[in-house]
């Protein structure tokens, strides 16, 4: 799968996705300090799932109506690296391409999913 990973996400998760043979662009590597709206635009323009820890993206998508191919929000404490890695990879395994057109919240004990407005 194609991913755009927000710079707030630890680089170790970027490596975990790449090791699982995903195509990953990491904002910290390509354009640090990019505004959230520009991150969403890049995700939409390139058809990449957006992975973030930042709840502001949900607000931009649901309240301001900005579009994204799919949004995955990690809601597990940053110091719980192994749990974050396991749950993220489990979400990818369980939902696969169904992560597109969805807002998926990855938590320790569950996944929450909400349908997004589809890209034109």
Task: Please give the pLDDT value at position 117.
Answer: 73
Question: Residue 17: CB partners within 8 Å, gap ≥ 6?
Answer: 3, 5, 24, 51, 88, 92
Residue 19 pairs in a beta bridge with: none
Q: How far apart are CA 74 and CA 41, in angstroms?
A: 20
Q: For the segment 13-41, what is each residue's pLDDT rounded down to a tens digit?
A: 999 999 999 999 999 999 999 999 999 99
Residue pLDDT tens, the chain, 120 long: 999 999 999 999 999 999 999 999 999 999 999 999 999 999 999 999 999 999 999 999 999 989 999 999 999 999 999 999 999 999 999 999 999 999 999 999 999 999 997 655
Which conformational region is residue 114 in: left (phi greater than 0), alpha (psi within -120 to 50 degrees), or beta?
Answer: beta
Q: Which listed CATH number (2.60.40, 2.40.10, 3.40.1700, 3.40.50) goes with 2-115?
A: 3.40.50
**Global pTM exceeds 0.75:** yes
């Amino acid at each position: 799968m194609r991913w755009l990973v927000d710079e707030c996400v630890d680089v170790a998760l970027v490596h975990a996705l790449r090791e699982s043979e995903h195509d990953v662009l990491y904002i910290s590597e390509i354009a640090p300090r990019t505004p959230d709206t520009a991150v969403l635009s890049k995700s939409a323009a390139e058809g990449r799932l957006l992975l973030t820890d930042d709840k502001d993206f949900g607000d931009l998508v649901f309240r301001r109506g900005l579009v994204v191919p799919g949004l995955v929000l990690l809601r597990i404490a940053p110091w719980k690296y192994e749990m974050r890695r396991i749950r993220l990879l489990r979400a990818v395994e369980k939902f696969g391409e169904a992560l597109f057109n969805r807002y998926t919240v990855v938590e320790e004990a569950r996944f929450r999913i909400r349908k997004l407005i589809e890209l034109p």
